[in-house]
A and B are shown apart, each in its own frame.
Chain A
Amino acid sequence: EPEVTQTPSHQVTQMGQEVILRCVPISNHLYFYWYRQILGQKVEFLVSFYNNEISEKSEIFDDQFSVERPDGSNFTLKIRSTKLEDSAMYFCASSPTGSPLHFGNGTRLTVT
């Protein structure tokens, strides 16, 4: 069964550094999402992306965040200047029609 693939599985970075989290969505999917989950808490929506543009973003998704689909297969989340509170598990998801969402296994981001 096709899967959403995320790399790296764990990223450690220093506060203020830029990080790029990478995702390869399922190949025929058209809708792409990033969610995050702070340890032990609920999954929170960050951004949705369709037709090469952001469809919706949450209040968490401020100017420090950006998304890009640089080619036909990758979908990336960039955090320009990481803060301690950005430490979380970041999940990429994709969907052929907007629903249901298929999630990857996540990237654990640790900001020190």
Chain B
Amino acid sequence: GENVEQHPSTLSVQEGDSAVIKCTYSDSASNYFPWYKQELGKGSQLIIDIRSNVGEKKDQRIAVTLNKTAKHFSLHITETQPEDSAVYFCAASKAGNQFYFGTGTSLTVIP
């Protein structure tokens, strides 16, 4: 099966600074890598995703990079705001669309 590792487990940044969360995966057949933001009472929201034929994708303050050779991908949040505080999960999937999730990163943005 697939094994996804996520680091760090907790991250605190000052408002306006950047935050980076890293994930590694084990199965080279994985081809889709979404990131979810989970807030209490709000469920899990897809914030960005990337497919294996792309090395980088950006959406306003959020970007994701993928290194297929090294089997790792990262979430970058720039100009962080207090409302970015949440738990973030990375995931990897392949044929069949079963998602394998990391263990989550609790991000706190300090005003």
The answer to whether A and B belong to the same complex is no
Interface residues, chain A, with chain B CB atoms under 8 Å away? none
